[in-house]
A and B are shown apart, each in its own frame.
Chain A
Amino acid sequence: MSVSLDQTWRRPAAASFLCALLSSCGTPADHPPGVPSSISFHVQPVYPRSYDIIASGRRNVSAQALEAAWRHKAAQVAAGRKFQVSGIATHATEEIGSIHTGYMRVPTFTQSQSVRGTLRILK
């Protein structure tokens, strides 16, 4: 009896474990409307009432589009409150990985760029 119940509850328990693990790493926030889904965001709250926001995309996304997406996200995070923006910088970086072609592994260089900046909510 105990063994069969174990098996019954194993999957839900594993699912709850996975959910808890994922939810602990970050709360999903809405994607700003009108912003391509290829642009992703990272929002970090900064004490006492600021946020560091990073908008990232592939190199084929223009820097202007990325900065416009950053501003959309900033407005979304501010949620109608007055805010001030500072320290906006655009950086293009490279991630090194590899793909397996069947015979051998070949290194890959994925280029991406990001716009980062700080949003300060005004009193």
Chain B
Amino acid sequence: MHFPRLPILLLTAVGVALSGCATKPLSSVDRSIYRTAAISPSVKMPGKYHYADLTGERARGAAAQFGLVGALAGAAVAASSEGPGRQRFDRVVAANPTDVRGLVHRHFGRTLGESKLFALTPVNPDATFHLVVDHYGVAPANKRELGGVITAEATLLDRTGKTIWSRRESAVSNTTAMLEGYEANPRLWPQVMEEATQQLTRKLVLYTDADRR
């Protein structure tokens, strides 16, 4: 008997199964080859924080269901509804500026150190972590309340610059508050970014297998 296409189909199925839906965990890196690591001090960041409120999210989301024209119209509605809120939030951030770059670097280093996956050394490491923050800021996280949000990618490069591992994750702070809450207590802004960054670095460094439901 001859099954000309069966092996190709099965090989494809096995390939998909092995590659999985999620990116590989950091613990899968061969630590017999890469024992020491450093974290690049330069963390790439966007120019400004991201601000979105529920009205804007609804306008964008609903309009996006109606194609490109809808998306553009939704973006315009969202921008007009979020404009005053963004200005108020600008004042909150100005009252209590937060070094998100430093937070990301510090929490990533701390989480990596506590995991003991690699020995951290600044001198001649086997591999170096590079961190890129795609966006950070506040967005609706609990009804109308805004939570700290952050998305970043961590990449591990070997001495030749070859990528050994890479993972992108997003995180939301546990603490959420209305815009009025942020205005009344400007310390909430550093707090939500601290929580979101902590959660983000846990996801990047410590998440292991594909998820179970």
- Residues of A near any B CB (own CB < 8 A): 1-2, 5-6, 9-10, 13-14, 16-17, 19-21, 23-29, 40-48, 50, 52, 87, 89-94, 96-98, 105, 107, 109
- On whether the beta carbons of B1 and A44 are closer than 8 Å, the reply is no
Known: A24-B16, A96-B62. A1 touches B2 (CB 8 A): yes
- On whether the beta carbons of B141 and A26 are closer than 8 Å, the reply is no
Residues in A whose Cβ lies below 8 Å from that of B117: 47
Pick the residue among A24, A105, A109 that contacts B210 (CB under 8 A).
A24
Known: A9-B3, A26-B210, A47-B206. A107 touches B25 (CB 8 A): no
Instruction: List 9 contacting pairs A-B, 8 Å CB cutoff, sorted by A.
Output: A17-B13, A21-B13, A24-B18, A46-B202, A47-B25, A91-B172, A94-B58, A96-B57, A109-B58
- On whether the beta carbons of B2 and A20 are closer than 8 Å, the reply is no
- On whether the beta carbons of A20 and B213 are closer than 8 Å, the reply is no
Residues in A whose Cβ lies below 8 Å from that of B162: none
Prevailing SS type, chain B contact patch = mixed
- On whether the beta carbons of B17 and A46 are closer than 8 Å, the reply is no
Residues in A whose Cβ lies below 8 Å from that of B26: 47
Residues in A whose Cβ lies below 8 Å from that of B4: 2, 6
Known: A17-B9, A46-B206. A26 touches B66 (CB 8 A): no
For chain B, the bracket of interface size reads 35 or more
Chain B window 41-80, contacts with chain A (Cβ cutoff 8 Å), 1 for yes, 0 for no: 0000000000000100110011011100000000000000
- Residues of B near any A CB (own CB < 8 A): 1-6, 9-10, 12-14, 16-21, 25-27, 54, 57-58, 61-62, 64-66, 115, 117, 140-143, 147, 172, 174, 176, 202, 205-213
Q: Which residue of B lies closest to A23 (CB)?
A: B17
Residues in B whose Cβ lies below 8 Å from that of A29: 212-213
What is the minimal beta-carbon distance from B3 to any residue of chain A, in angstroms?
5
- On whether the beta carbons of A17 and B143 are closer than 8 Å, the reply is no
**Cα distance, A43 to B208, chains bound together (Å):** 11
**Cα distance, A69 to B206, chains bound together (Å):** 25
Residues in A whose Cβ lies below 8 Å from that of B25: 47
Pick the residue among A1, A16, A27, A97 that contacts B13 (CB under 8 A).
A16
**Cα distance, A46 to B26, chains bound together (Å):** 11
- On whether the beta carbons of A46 and B207 are closer than 8 Å, the reply is yes
- On whether the beta carbons of A20 and B3 are closer than 8 Å, the reply is no
Pick the residue among B19, B58, B142, B208 that contacts A24 (CB under 8 A).
B19
Residues in B whose Cβ lies below 8 Å from that of A96: 57-58, 61-62, 64-65
**Cα distance, A45 to B54, chains bound together (Å):** 31
Known: A25-B210, A92-B142. A17 touches B12 (CB 8 A): yes
Q: Which residue of A lies closest to B64 (CB)?
A: A96
- On whether the beta carbons of B211 and A26 are closer than 8 Å, the reply is yes
**Cα distance, A10 to B54, chains bound together (Å):** 48
Known: A9-B6, A17-B9, A20-B13. A47 touches B208 (CB 8 A): yes
Residues in B whose Cβ lies below 8 Å from that of A21: 13, 16-17
What is the minimal beta-carbon distance from B169 to any residue of chain A, in angstroms?
11
What is the minimal beta-carbon distance from B75 to any residue of chain A, in angstroms?
14
